[in-house]
Amino acid sequence: MANFKTHVLVAAAVSGSATVVALSSDLLSAQVLPAYFLLGTMAGLLPDIDSDNSVPIRLFFNLMAVSAAFAALFSVVDRYSIVESLLLWGGVYLLVRYTVFELFIRLTVHRGVFHSVLAACFFGLLFTCIADSWLHRSELESWLAGVFVFMGYLVHLSLDELYSVDLTNIRLKRSFGTALKLVSLKYMRETLLLFVLTLMLFSAAPSGDVFLQTTWNGEFYQDIVNKLWPGGRWFSGLWPTHS
């Protein structure tokens, strides 16, 4: 199993490359690019949120708790006094950070349902829905948020799988095949629940038409290939040329 540092580094490298491609093919504007980079990198840590004492899980639940508290605050801010709003903010934060966290810890087993492609789809769709309905991003931007999360998640699963192959004497460690799997058949009940939740998110997600039209055609990839290598001299214009 790859360690925390490896996960961060590789996820950041893949995510960084993806943002360069997204910028040069006009998928994303420069202003939102850093957010996508962070999203992809963070997703590279997400699959380990079910190891009960991991740094990512605490970070994730803190973030979720703060987001939920602000979402609750924004929805009632005109109706209540400052003290009431403050109590509501704190209440929602504590509820998510401690009660939901406790429930989550009890319900999940490390490397159970979360180390699967199904979970990658779940989190991808979750962030597509958040970007769409909470942050009011465009359809294309929302789906790209989901794609970045899905990609970062798969990077993590692949790394875990890669590290389960003992490269020095080509032997498979016992953990081989536990990281990258489509669904977790060992935990049928949890897998079924995750599947239903994923379907619910899919039906709640914005239309993917614009995203598919933009990315699912030969021209788009041809354009990326054309821009991949310099046509003439490398870094022309960066250095003074002597004629």
Contact set with Zn ion (CB under 5 A): 47-48, 160
- Collapsing DSSP to helix, strand or coil, 171 comes out as strand
DSSP string for residues in 116-170: SHHHHHHHHHHHHHIIIIIS---HHHHHHHHHHHHHHHHHHHHHHHHHTEETTTT
**Minimum separation from the CB atom of position 48 to Zn ion (A):** 5
Q: How far apart are alpha carbons 202 and 196 in whole angstroms?
A: 10
**Minimum separation from the CB atom of position 126 to Zn ion (A):** 18
Nearer to Zn ion, 58 or 214 (CB): 58
**Minimum separation from the CB atom of position 51 to Zn ion (A):** 8
**Minimum separation from the CB atom of position 237 to Zn ion (A):** 44
Nearer to Zn ion, 37 or 114 (CB): 114
Nearer to Zn ion, 48 or 141 (CB): 48
**Minimum separation from the CB atom of position 159 to Zn ion (A):** 8
Nearer to Zn ion, 139 or 160 (CB): 160
Nearer to Zn ion, 47 or 146 (CB): 47
Handedness of CA 162, 165, 170, 172 (dihedral sign): negative
Q: Which two tokens stand for residue 149?
A: 């999360």
